[in-house]
Structure 1
């Protein structure tokens, strides 16, 4: 099950479970669409992978499957990964 992290790792913008602009990589690194496009150039700075829109978990499922409350904020690491 997806962790549904609560914020963008670059700008710390809140990304609640229904956020339409939440983007994730295959490792669930979470960023807002603005940072993905304008700061990261579509490449995850942690793993070098690409992004997809994070699915929205139905509100009826949140009580038994809550989103994460663990905020990851690393603005210094918000440069695209150098993949060889």
Structure 2
């Protein structure tokens, strides 16, 4: 089961969340930009869960 990498902040909807960029996520995969997560005190407004750094996906390195 793969983590859903949402590409927009659920609060401001203007921040683009690149798969290899910084973002915050809760256990239900609600996704926020760092600025909005900080403004929310790192608490998800949808479920009340903790917002933590989302793992990043980097492009495959060809060799």
How does the TM-score come out when normalised to structure 1? 0.65
Does 1:17 pair with 2:7?
A: no
1:72 counterpart residue number: none
More helix by share: 1
> Once superposed, which parts of structure 1, at least 4 consecutive aligned residues long, lie more than 4 Å away?
none
How does the TM-score come out when normalised to structure 2? 0.85
Q: How many residue pairs end up in the alignment? A: 58
Aligned-residue offset at 1:58: 2.4
User: Which structure 2 residue ranges, 5 or more long, are not aligned?
Assistant: none
Distance (Å, rounded) in 2 between the aligned partners of 1:42 and 1:52: 7
Greater relative contact order (Cα < 8 A, sep 6+): 1
Counterpart contact for 2:12–2:36, Cα < 8 Å: yes
